[in-house]
Amino acid sequence: MTDRRPRIVVGLTGGIASYKVVGVIRELVRRGADVTVVPSESSREFVGRSTLEAISRNPVHYSLFDDVAQVRHVALGKNADAVLVAPATANTLSALAEGRADSLLLTTVLASSAPLIVAAAMHTEMWEHAATRDNVATLTDRGAIFIGPTAGELTGGDVGLGRLADESDIVDAVWSAIHPKDLAGMTVLITAGGTREPIDPVRFVGNRSTGHMGVACAIVARDRGATVTLIGAHLEVARPAGIVNVSVSTAAEMHAAVLDRIAGCDVFLSVAAVSDFHVVNASSQKIKKSDGVPELLLAENPDILRDVVAAASGAFVVGFAAETDDENFATLAATKAIAKGADLLVANVVGESKGFGSVPTSTLVLNNAGSVIDTVNGSKMAVASRIFDLVSRQKVNTP
Ligand code: CTP
């Protein structure tokens, strides 16, 4: 499944919380999923077709009788990697538990053997009613994964259990359901972002790294069961929940943070763009224009990746390489792979409009002899998934 986009069916039912599911769909698409929304008739009262089509980037059908020849529900259900029903109303839970098949949504669920994730939302009394409890128990026995409801303010101003779970928790539940837990028990340390070296209290020497690649690696490792620590420098992307987040600024701080934590780690990914130099004569006060053009004295920073390799801690080490010379890219990548000595080096070309941020990337994966063992193109999440496929394979072969 890692070579193609995960296919997720979102069964949207008619509850007040339907509008929040739009955010869930958007995040699933952003993570690289191919999302098809199957709305119930009553959901139209809350969210329209155009919104769902625009956000999911797929056509939306309501009826079993659209394109009958295509037997849409069977194809959708059979091909899905996960089915999410959200917000699942009391009525939908009852229909799911009963195994009813009188709508496109219900028939799609019945035609699917993929994990079923149910994000319920309703009034507290309905959630706690014996009939709903029975339906939840029946569905849980059949393997459905319930996410929420949570406690909080409900429609009409009541407070209690029944709110749709947080969007990010629903996304995480779906994502976890479709990813293997092949990294369970592993401890993964990742650096991300770009370090900054102060010139004075307001200026620094830095780089254009945003942290998207490192954060994608952290999310993939977490979703596949690893215990993850992310050492981030100046990330321009939200830090993922469910991992240990450490913030640093300079290369020296990142170096210390990594070496403090490397013992006992199974995997180290050096994704950060680390400044190679720091300013020795940094000023403690803002340098004034009137002082004239400053002469900066630079000294080399420690190479974190090389020091981790030299420490031979037993961790499986993955380096990343950013090159700007398109023509000599393969040769430069091979030379760097040998020089760094990491188990794997993931190399890509960067530039003004290439490589940085949430853009798709195109990479070579090399071993420490400088040979290309894989090429990966796609979103940063797709590249991160492939890297962990390789890590997982190697860790299993060399326990
Ligand atoms: N790296 C590091 N410490 C440094 C510099 C780089 O750990 N002081 C790591 C990066 O995290 C990355 C790898 O080394 O995994 C390659 O980084 P890159 O910037 O491509 O190469 P450099 O080693 O800095 O070499 P050059 O600038 O000459 O290309």
> Does the pLDDT value for residue 150 go beyond 50?
yes
Each residue's pLDDT tens digit, 98-131: 999 999 899 999 999 999 999 999 999 999 999 9
Q: Looking at ligand 1, which residue's alpha carbon is closest to its atom 17? A: 321
CA-320 nearest atom, ligand 1 = 15
Q: Looking at ligand 1, which residue's alpha carbon is closest to its atom 3? A: 303
Task: Give the confidence band of 327 by pLDDT, cuts at 50, 70, 90.
Answer: confident
Tell me, using a 6 A CB cutoff, whether residue 342 lines ligand 1.
Answer: no
Q: Looking at ligand 1, which residue's alpha carbon is closest to its atom 23? A: 303
CA of 185 to the centre of ligand 1 (A): 29
What's the pLDDT at 395?
66
Task: Give the confidence band of 302 by pLDDT, cuts at 50, 70, 90.
Answer: very high
Each residue's pLDDT tens digit, 336-381: 999 999 999 999 887 655 666 666 677 899 999 999 999 888 778 8
Tell me, using a 6 A CB cutoff, whether residue 272 lines ligand 1.
Answer: yes
Q: Looking at ligand 1, which residue's alpha carbon is closest to its atom 27? A: 276
Task: Give the confidence band of 323 by pLDDT, cuts at 50, 70, 90.
Answer: confident
What's the pLDDT at 157?
72
What's the pLDDT at 180?
78
* Residue of 191, 253, 267, 305 to test ligand 1 pocket, by largest number of atoms within 8 Å of CB: 305
**3-class SS string, the chain:** CCCCCCEEEEEECCCCCHHHHHHHHHHHHHCCCEEEEEECHHHHHCCCHHHHHHHHCCCCCCCCCCCHHHCHHHHHHHHCCEEEEEEECHHHHHHHHHCCCCCHHHHHHHCCCCCEEEEECCCHHHHHCHHHHHHHHHHHHCCCEECCCEEEECCCCCEEEEECCCHHHHHHHHHHHHCCCCCCCCEEEEEEEECCEECCCCCEECCCCCCHHHHHHHHHHHHCCCEEEEEEECCCCCCCCCCEEEEECCHHHHHHHHHHHCCCCCEEEECCECCCEEECCCCCCCCCHHHCCCCCCEEECCCHHHHHHHHCCCCEEEEEEEECCCCCHHHHHHHHHHHHCCCEEEEEECECCECCCCCCEEEEEEECCCCEEEEEEECHHHHHHHHHHHHHHHHHHCC
Greater pLDDT, 185 or 1: 185
What mean pLDDT value characterizes the chain? 90
Greater pLDDT, 65 or 130: 130
Tell me, using a 6 A CB cutoff, whether residue 119 lines ligand 1.
Answer: no
Domains plus CATH for the chain? Answer: 7-178 (3.40.50.1950), 187-396 (3.40.50.10300)
Average pLDDT rounded to a whole number, residues 271-290:
96
What's the pLDDT at 250?
98
What's the pLDDT at 210?
93
What's the pLDDT at 92?
95
What's the pLDDT at 170?
94
CA of 307 to the centre of ligand 1 (A): 12
CA of 321 to the centre of ligand 1 (A): 7
Most confident of 71-75, 198-202, 325-329, 395-399: 198-202
With a CB cutoff of 8 Å and minimum separation 6, the contacts of 250 are: 195, 196, 197, 198, 233, 275, 278
Each residue's pLDDT tens digit, 236-269: 999 988 999 999 999 999 999 999 999 999 999 9
CA of 385 to the centre of ligand 1 (A): 22
- Active-site positions? 207
CA of 3 to the centre of ligand 1 (A): 28
